[in-house]
Amino acid sequence: MLRPLAQTLSPRGSIARRISLTGGLVIALAMVGVCALTAVTTGRMTRHHIAQIAAEKATAVTNALDAFDQVSKLQTARFYNTFAGSFAKEFVLDPASGDLSSWGEKLNGNFTAVDKFTETTGGVATIFARKGDDFMRVTTSLKKDNGERAMGTMLGNKHPAYAAMVAGQTYTGRAVLFGKHYMTQYQPVRDSAGQVVGILFVGFDLSALQGTLEKMVADARLFETGGLMVIDPKKAAADAVFVAHTQAKGKKVMEAVPGAEATLTALAAAGDEPVALATPLLATGGDRWAVVHKAGNGWWVVAEVADGEALREHRNAAWMSVALFALAAAGLGLGLAWMVRRWVAQPLQQLGDSLATVAGGDLTKPVALDRQDEVGQLAAQAEIMRQKLASTMAQVHEAAVSIQAASAEVATGNADLSHRTEEQASNLQQTAASMEQLTQTVKQNADTARQA
């Protein structure tokens, strides 16, 4: 005889629990994926946007620097024309004494023209006389820090204007003279034979413009520790100088920031894209990158940004998004668990209870679940099974009753037959006894007759 196996539902084996956990895990993984993708995408967009802001600040300073240079070059050219108008077109150089003359007037040690130029324009002027392959300052209005005139020194073949002077060409460019920035113009002068015998120099004081430039750089902050700087790269990295810097203005880059050679090399090769800085130039700590714009005079305007500072708000927003997504995932998971329990687990539990009742032999209680879904269909089929089973059991019961009645009738017939058989046997016994008695009587009569 088969008996139903009694099974106890384990919480871990619950379909609702497994569906809820699986669904919650899938939702959580989906949320994590969305968060990660969103964080990476928005991080790149934020970094790109900040790079654009840094580039705009660098561009503004670069444009201002180029404008300053253009204005100062024009002003220096006007100053030079004013100064050159004080001399003849042809100069005379005495090779023996080294005296340079114009209109017969010796210029060595003569401060009249240079001082008048300074009083009139506020600039500085110097006259160089040819001495061998070099040029010596023979008169000037430029003064040293101690107030003495900067005379008697040579131009030097390493000076950026030297090659142009020897070739008889004009040189215009920036220079720092005794701590002050000037826009300078060097113009070679010739004698009657067309030989270069000297140089006329004028310098336009850029202190006001330099101050404006330095203020622009100082005010252009990029988050807590980022900002702008201006570098004169020179011809070699070892000679590069900070033209404008929050802490190292006027210092050589390699001296102010040891180990900055790799950074200078990267900046020299940089295009429009941000450059990762092996050695930061403004502050230390964290990943830092820079955007560099190169001015017309060759200077670099560098915008340095600390990546952690730039993305701090983005990361805070990302963590907030993670928290919101986590709450959403938890809410969805709980909602999924509630729906699975209400729509699947409870109906299945009710169906299981009904089937347990049927399995217990009670076929009188219908399997009733008023649902228009798969569980409802399963319950309907279970109800049909119950009805058919009940019908079969009723038929079996009726057959059993019929068999019992027939058996009773057979038993009654057998009893009656046995009774009649017994009566007949008794009658036969009586008949046999009567026959025996008759036989005895006949025998006696015969014996009597013979005796008589």
| pLDDT tens-digit readout, 68-94 | 999 999 999 999 999 999 999 999 999
Say what the pLDDT of residue 82 is: 92
Q: How far, in Å, CA of 310 to CA of 52, rounded?
A: 12
Nearest to 63 by CA among 213, 188, 180: 213
CA distances from 66 to 62, 101, 230, 325, 408 (A): 6, 38, 13, 50, 128
Could you read off the pLDDT of 329-355 as tens digits, one per residue? 778 778 877 887 777 777 777 777 878
Cross-sheet strand order for the sheet of 171-177 = 134-140, 124-131, 196-205, 180-190, 171-177
Q: How confident is the model at residue 257 (pLDDT cuts 50, 70, 90)?
A: very high
For residue 414, pLDDT over 80 is answered with no
Q: How confident is the model at residue 10 (pLDDT cuts 50, 70, 90)?
A: low
Q: How confident is the model at residue 5 (pLDDT cuts 50, 70, 90)?
A: very low
Say what the pLDDT of residue 1 is: 44
pLDDT, mean of residues 198-208: 95
Output phi, psi for 142, to 5 deg.
Answer: -80, 130
Say what the pLDDT of residue 12 is: 58
Residue pair 162/169 in contact (Cβ under 8 Å)? The answer is no
Q: How far, in Å, CA of 218 to CA of 246, rounded?
A: 6
Say what the pLDDT of residue 255 is: 94
Highest mean pLDDT among 83-87, 269-273, 395-399: 83-87
Q: How far, in Å, CA of 57 to CA of 302, rounded?
A: 9
Say what the pLDDT of residue 422 is: 77
For residue 408, pLDDT over 90 is answered with no
For residue 321, pLDDT over 90 is answered with no
Could you read off the pLDDT of 129-188 as tens digits, one per residue? 999 999 999 999 999 989 899 999 999 999 999 999 999 999 999 988 888 889 999 999
The per-residue pLDDT of the chain, averaged, comes to 86
Residue pair 260/253 in contact (Cβ under 8 Å)? The answer is yes
181: its two tokens: 């920035």
**Higher local confidence (pLDDT), 310 or 399:** 399
Say what the pLDDT of residue 11 is: 57
Could you read off the pLDDT of 223-237 as tens digits, one per residue? 889 999 999 999 899
One-letter amino acid of 383: E
Could you read off the pLDDT of 17-58 as tens digits, one per residue? 677 677 777 777 777 777 777 777 877 888 888 889 999 999
